[in-house]
Amino acid sequence: MDLPSDIRASEVFSLFLDENLISLLVTETNRYAEQKLQQETTEHARLNRWKPTTSAEIKKFIGLMIWMGLVQTPLVRCWSTDPIYNFPFPRSKMSRNRFKLLLANLHFANNETIEEGSRLGKVLPLLNLLIDNYQKVFSPGEDIVIDETMVPWRRRLIFRQYILTKSHKYGIKLFKLCSTEGYTWSAKVYSGRDTSGRRQVGLAENVCIELADKLINEGRTLFVDNFYTSYKLALKFLQFKTHVVGTVRYNKKFMPHSVMSYPLKRGDMASREDDNGIMVLKWRDVRDVMMLSTKHPPIMTSTTDSTHRGRPPKQKPLAVLAYNNGKTGIDRSDQMVSYATTIRKSIKWYRKLALHLLLGTSVVNAHIVYQRVKNKKMEIRKFRELLVAEWLSPENSTLDDNRTKTRNVSHKLEIRTNQQGKPVRRMCVLCYRKRRQTAERQEAKKNVKKTTTYCSNCPNSPQMCLQCFNAHHTT
């Protein structure tokens, strides 16, 4: 997507969480709360105080969730007035009870229209919207990688997985297609065996074809690990004009026995290539490494990462070096998502998965696009801080949304004073908002009218000059 160089972080994030997605969250959250209210509830239940949410409130809720990932504090303590915590930021945006109500009723699909037997029905509408937005904004380059990642989940779930090699060993398995930068372009949730209980045949091959369906026939290179790599997969993707590079298991079908069982000394290599250009090699390092490649010849090349302390450069197969570079996309994506986990405990698996996509994968994708547009590097934490500041900034606040609630309230200007009784001069909020529409933040702050008056009955008691006060309360 062609984006302007002066785009803001919140505007990039809005490309993924667009109005259609926010509207889905608002509609389904309100519907789910109404369905719960129709059931029997106790007299003093918090749900009895439910009021329908809006798009502006859902955006504020998402901004607070991103902020919680930065602070890493238990939810109960975020609104605490204890001097040890005492965060004024969340209290200025939303009350704790309202936040808990939204979190308890956050929903992504209509329970009454979910197909019977659909294990992913509660999260599928959200996942489809997100993937469509991911694919509209960014197109991967020549190298793409497919691998699985884990969304941590230890409670009971029929398709929960256990993968020993992952940092989160128990959880929901997610197949992802990423670029080398770590941008998640497509994803698929593994929901276990089908309803008949039969094991899916050719799962790895089908996942690769499904995720890369829109990227084939363009000369790309697909990097996969030994779970996916097979001779049939390489042959099929060659027909799609796509190379395949990946590690391979020694007992995989159609692999040359003369290569797989050949004894090697450290540093030696054995290989074979068929008439289709599919090359299989075995290289001895600390242990045996088996590779399949449709792109690289079986040659050794020098590396630059082993010249420490005057040692001679280490020789590695060209396919191994290419695989090590191409496979980093998934690892980089998982690493950046893990830096700010928002919800650490939950009793609803679909909500945990949805928040992982909304506040993890989407933020990482926005971070990559923002760096590409700005042509500069930025730490993921700095980007999250910038995103929270812009997403919850005064110009994006719900001052206009709350205007209808306060029309019948008596508004008047008062002079803001400090503890010593002296007037406090600040810039007019509404004047700043007008200038901010046509100027950057630093430029908008210059020459903004400053005043000592404010309206105590407006939300957040904004500083206002007399002209803006009259215009705001008469429209």
Each residue of 283-336: pLDDT tens digit?
A: 999 899 999 999 999 999 987 655 556 677 788 999 999 999 998 888 888 888
- The ranges assigned to domains in the chain are 1-116+350-400, 138-303+314-339, 413-473
Specify the pLDDT at position 78: 87
Is pLDDT larger for residue 191 or for residue 1? 191
Residue 226 has pLDDT above 50, yes or no: yes
CA dihedral 173, 177, 179, 184 (to 10 degrees): -60
1-26 pLDDT, tens digit per residue, is 888 888 999 999 999 999 999 999 99
Beta strands in 216-364 (DSSP E): 221-224, 243-247, 269-273, 279-284, 288-293, 300-302, 315-317
Query: What confidence score (pLDDT) does residue 143 get?
Result: 94
The whole-number pLDDT of residue 355 equals 92
Name the 3-class secondary structure at 188: strand
pLDDT bracket for residue 474 (50, 70, 90): low
- What pLDDT score does 283 carry? 94
Q: Residues 139, 291: contact at Cβ < 8 Å?
A: no
pLDDT given at position 398: 40
Residue 396: per-residue pLDDT: 55
Identity of residue 56:
A
Instruction: Name, in order, each residue with C-beta under 8 angstroms of 343's C-beta and a sequence gap of 6 or more.
Output: 65, 351, 352, 355
pLDDT band at 473 (very low <50, low <70, confident <90, very high): confident
How far is residue 244's CA from residue 145's CA, in Å, rounded to a whole number?
10
Mean pLDDT of 347-376: 93
Res 343: pLDDT: 64
Residues listed for the chain: 475
Residue with tokens 């994030």: 13
Looking at residue 84, what is its pLDDT? 84
| Confidence bin at 360 (pLDDT 50/70/90) | very high
**What average pLDDT does range 88-100 have in this prediction?**
90
208 sits in which H/E element = helix 203-211
User: Is residue 199 very low, low, confident or very high in pLDDT (cuts 50, 70, 90)?
Assistant: low
Rounded CA gap, 342 and 336, in Å?
A: 13
pLDDT at 245 over 60: yes
Give the closest residue to 237 by CA, choosing from 326, 144, 329: 144
Residue 403 has pLDDT above 50, yes or no: no
**Predicted pLDDT of residue 397:** 46
Supply the pLDDT for residue 407: 38
> 125-129, 398-402, 461-465 — which one is most confidently predicted on average?
125-129
- pLDDT, mean of residues 80-108: 90
Considering only CA atoms, which of 273, 302, 267, 303 is closest in space to residue 288? Answer: 267
Mean per-residue pLDDT for 148-164? Answer: 89
Q: What is the pLDDT of residue 309?
A: 61
Of residues 386 and 437, the one with the higher pLDDT is 386
| pLDDT at residue number 163 | 85
Residues of the chain with pLDDT > 90: what percent? 53
Give CA separation, 149 vs 2, 163, 177, 226, in Å: 30, 10, 10, 15
> Is residue 279 very low, low, confident or very high in pLDDT (cuts 50, 70, 90)?
very high
Q: Where are the beta strands (DSSP E) in 240-287?
A: 243-247, 269-273, 279-284
Residue 90 has pLDDT above 80, yes or no: yes
Instruction: State how far the Cα of 23 lies from the Cα of 330, in Å rounded to an integer.
Output: 30
pLDDT for 22-66, tens place per residue? 999 999 999 999 999 888 777 778 888 899 999 999 999 999 999
Q: Which of 179-193, 204-218, 460-474 has the least mean pLDDT?
A: 460-474
Task: Kindly give, in sequence order, each residue whose CB lies less than 8 Å from that of residue 288, ignoring residues fewer than 6 positions away.
Answer: 250, 264, 282
Over range 363-371, report the average pLDDT: 95
Instruction: Please name which of 179, 174, 240, 238 lies closest in space to residue 207, comparing C-alpha atoms.
Output: 174
- The arithmetic mean of pLDDT across residues 222-247, rounded, is 94
> CA Rg, the chain, in Å?
28
pLDDT band, residue 399 (cuts 50/70/90) = very low
* Cβ atoms of 110 and 144 closer than 8 Å: no
pLDDT of residue 409: 53
Mean per-residue pLDDT over the chain, rounded: 87
